[in-house]
């Protein structure tokens, strides 16, 4: 058992594959530390969970006065560059690893690796936590305003609203590329759901099969959020034998006709081959794909219709059409709005 240096200025980071989540979230809460949890770490719940740390940690004016003395990580974070740079800069970075032979340390910044740690409760005021929370609330409200101003379906709003619309006990299987990243940026803390993703090499292959298998093993309702390329990559995963059990799974396909993630990366500025090499547009009729498998199909046309459109049971496909360029603009607006709100908050103090 490793004893963490006593400090109020700590943060708990939770990533993919985290174990003993409840225990460490409770310990961090007792210590007055914020919890920065990637969605598939299943620790984004409760009072100490933040929602907008991706935005906060991308703002130097916030980062500088909020340097933690200790960062403890549980599982493997890796969705957000700003979060990874927090780990890189951490003075003390304690990595929790049930198996000491393999520890998750994505930016090689661990100062200690331990199977178990005790996070001490230190007396003092809760200014540290309050300050993270206030900034998180400001950024989240600003992002919500941007998302709610668009009544059409948008990718980040779909991710945010899907999580809030899930019935208790649900499983949400999330594809690599933008679905899991959008969730990371906009998921609001909540309890009673399980989020899964195939991280590993972040492949967009095998995801329909993974979602179907996970849904079959899950005892509540199941949902999946996939990009169109991920969906098409594993179309055959929809094939079920007559003797096979059918999962109770709504597969929500975000159809931006290609790889939307690349429009958010520097290569989007390259003229010429971008579309053919990165965008890789496709025009497959997803309603016809659903019909070919005799799977019920629905289209989500307005963002507010989401709860209605995902309702039901059994295996079903929901298509949400979006636009890659508009999505890049929206993500830039979210970041700008979040940063503006946090700057205003900081300058008011
Ligand atoms: C098996 C595999 N092939 C290629 C890639 C490279 N890749 C990463 S993201 C991406 C685009 C994914 O598009 P889509 O699933 O539609 O999601 P979006 O980017 O639109 O969110 C590609 C091709 C990969 N990660 N895995």
Tens place of pLDDT per residue across the chain (349 aa): 787 888 889 999 999 999 999 999 999 999 999 999 999 999 999 999 999 999 999 999 999 999 999 999 999 999 999 999 999 999 999 999 988 899 999 999 999 999 999 999 988 889 999 999 999 999 999 999 999 999 999 999 999 999 999 999 999 999 999 999 999 999 999 999 999 999 777 899 999 999 999 999 999 999 999 999 999 999 999 999 999 999 999 999 999 999 999 999 999 998 789 999 999 999 999 999 999 999 999 999 999 999 999 999 999 999 999 999 999 999 999 999 999 999 999 999 7
pLDDT value for 1: 77
Domain of residue 219: give its range: 155-321
Is residue 19 domain-shared with residue 125, that is, in the same domain? yes
Last residue in a domain, options 110, 138, 166 = 138
Q: How many folded domains does the chain comprise?
A: 2
Q: Is the CB of 323 under 6 A from ligand 1?
A: no
Q: Is the CB of 203 under 6 A from ligand 1?
A: yes
Atom of ligand 1 nearest to the CA of 255: 16
- Tell me if 333 is assigned to some domain: no
Is residue 213 domain-shared with residue 243, that is, in the same domain? yes
Is residue 159 domain-shared with residue 129, that is, in the same domain? no
Is residue 113 domain-shared with residue 13, that is, in the same domain? yes
Pocket test for ligand 1, best of 182, 259, 282, 323 (most atoms within 8 A of CB): 259
- Tell me if 288 is assigned to some domain: yes
Query: What whole-number distance in Å separates Cα of residue 107 and Cα of residue 86?
Result: 10
Ligand 1 centre distance from Cα of residue 284 (Å): 16
Ligand 1 centre distance from Cα of residue 229 (Å): 6
Q: Is the CB of 228 under 6 A from ligand 1?
A: yes
Query: What whole-number distance in Å separates Cα of residue 104 and Cα of residue 178?
Result: 22
Pocket test for ligand 1, best of 155, 199, 260, 261 (most atoms within 8 A of CB): 261
Of 331, 217, 330, 233, which Cα lies nearest the Cα of 289? 233
Atom of ligand 1 nearest to the CA of 201: 25
Query: What whole-number distance in Å separates Cα of residue 293 and Cα of residue 300?
Result: 20
- Tell me if 331 is assigned to some domain: no
Q: Is the CB of 204 under 6 A from ligand 1?
A: yes
Is residue 120 domain-shared with residue 171, that is, in the same domain? no
Is residue 81 domain-shared with residue 182, that is, in the same domain? no
Shortest-distance Cα residue to atom 21 of ligand 1: 178
- Tell me if 340 is assigned to some domain: no
Q: Is the CB of 227 under 6 A from ligand 1?
A: yes
Query: What whole-number distance in Å separates Cα of residue 300 and Cα of residue 175?
Result: 19
Pocket test for ligand 1, best of 204, 257, 280 (most atoms within 8 A of CB): 204
CB contact burial 50-77 (16+ within 10 A = b; e otherwise): bbbbbbbbbbeebeeebebbbbbbbbbb
Q: Is the CB of 260 under 6 A from ligand 1?
A: yes
Ligand 1 centre distance from Cα of residue 231 (Å): 10
CB contact burial 259-294 (16+ within 10 A = b; e otherwise): bbbbbeeeeeeeeeeeeeebbeeeeeebeebbeeee
Ligand 1 centre distance from Cα of residue 254 (Å): 12
Is residue 189 domain-shared with residue 84, that is, in the same domain? no
Q: Is the CB of 256 under 6 A from ligand 1?
A: yes
- Tell me if 346 is assigned to some domain: no
Ligand 1 centre distance from Cα of residue 259 (Å): 6
Shortest-distance Cα residue to atom 23 of ligand 1: 259
- Tell me if 338 is assigned to some domain: no
Q: Is the CB of 202 under 6 A from ligand 1?
A: yes
- Tell me if 326 is assigned to some domain: no
pLDDT value for 169: 98
What torsion, rounded to 10 degrees, do the Cα atoms 153, 191, 196, 283 define? -10
Atom of ligand 1 nearest to the CA of 260: 20
- Tell me if 107 is assigned to some domain: yes
Query: What whole-number distance in Å separates Cα of residue 319 and Cα of residue 180?
Result: 17
Is residue 193 domain-shared with residue 278, that is, in the same domain? yes
Last residue in a domain, options 138, 165, 180 = 138
Last residue in a domain, options 138, 168, 191 = 138
pLDDT value for 5: 83
Domain CATH number, residue 42: 3.40.50.1220
Ligand 1 centre distance from Cα of residue 332 (Å): 21
How far is the CA of 46 from the CAs of 6, 51, 217, in angstroms?
23, 11, 27
Is residue 134 domain-shared with residue 263, that is, in the same domain? no
Is residue 206 domain-shared with residue 64, that is, in the same domain? no
Ligand 1 centre distance from Cα of residue 262 (Å): 9
Domain CATH number, residue 304: 3.40.50.970
Query: What whole-number distance in Å separates Cα of residue 109 and Cα of residue 84?
Result: 10
């Amino acid at each position: 058992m490793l004893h963490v240096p006593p400090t109020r200025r700590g943060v708990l980071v939770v990533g993919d594959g985290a174990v003993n989540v409840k225990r460490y979230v409770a310990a961090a809460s007792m210590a007055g530390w914020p919890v920065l949890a990637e969605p598939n770490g299943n620790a984004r719940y409760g009072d100490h969970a933040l929602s907008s740390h991706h935005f906060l940690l991308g703002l130097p004016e916030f980062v500088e006065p909020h340097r933690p003395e200790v960062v403890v990580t549980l599982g493997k974070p890796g969705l957000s560059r700003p979060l990874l740079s927090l780990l890189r800069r951490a003075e003390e970075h304690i990595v929790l690893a049930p198996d000491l032979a393999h520890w998750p340390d994505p930016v090689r910044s661990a100062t200690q690796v331990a199977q178990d740690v005790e996070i001490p409760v230190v007396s003092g005021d809760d200014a540290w936590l309050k300050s993270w929370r206030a900034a998180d609330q400001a950024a989240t409200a600003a992002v919500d305003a941007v998302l709610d101003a668009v009544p059409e379906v948008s990718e980040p709003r779909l991710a945010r609203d899907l999580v809030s619309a899930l019935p208790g006990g649900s499983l949400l299987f999330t594809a690599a590329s933008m679905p899991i990243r959008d969730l990371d940026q906009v998921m609001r803390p909540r309890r009673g759901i399980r989020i899964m993703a195939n991280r590993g090499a972040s492949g967009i292959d095998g995801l329909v099969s993974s979602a179907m298998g996970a849904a079959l093993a899950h005892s509540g309702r199941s949902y999946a959020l996939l990009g169109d390329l991920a969906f098409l990559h594993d179309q055959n995963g929809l094939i079920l034998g007559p003797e096979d059990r059918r999962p109770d799974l709504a597969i929500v396909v975000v159809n931006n006709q290609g790889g939307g993630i690349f429009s958010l990366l520097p290569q989007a500025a390259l003229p010429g081959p971008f579309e053919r090499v990165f965008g890789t547009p496709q025009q497959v009729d997803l309603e016809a794909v659903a019909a070919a498998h005799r799977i019920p199909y629905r289209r989500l046309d307005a963002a507010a219709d989401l709860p209605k459109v995902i309702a039901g049971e059994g295996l079903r496909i929901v298509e949400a059409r979006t636009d890659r360029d508009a999505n890049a603009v929206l993500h830039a607006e979210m970041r700008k709005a979040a940063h503006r709100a946090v700057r205003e908050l900081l300058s008011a103090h």
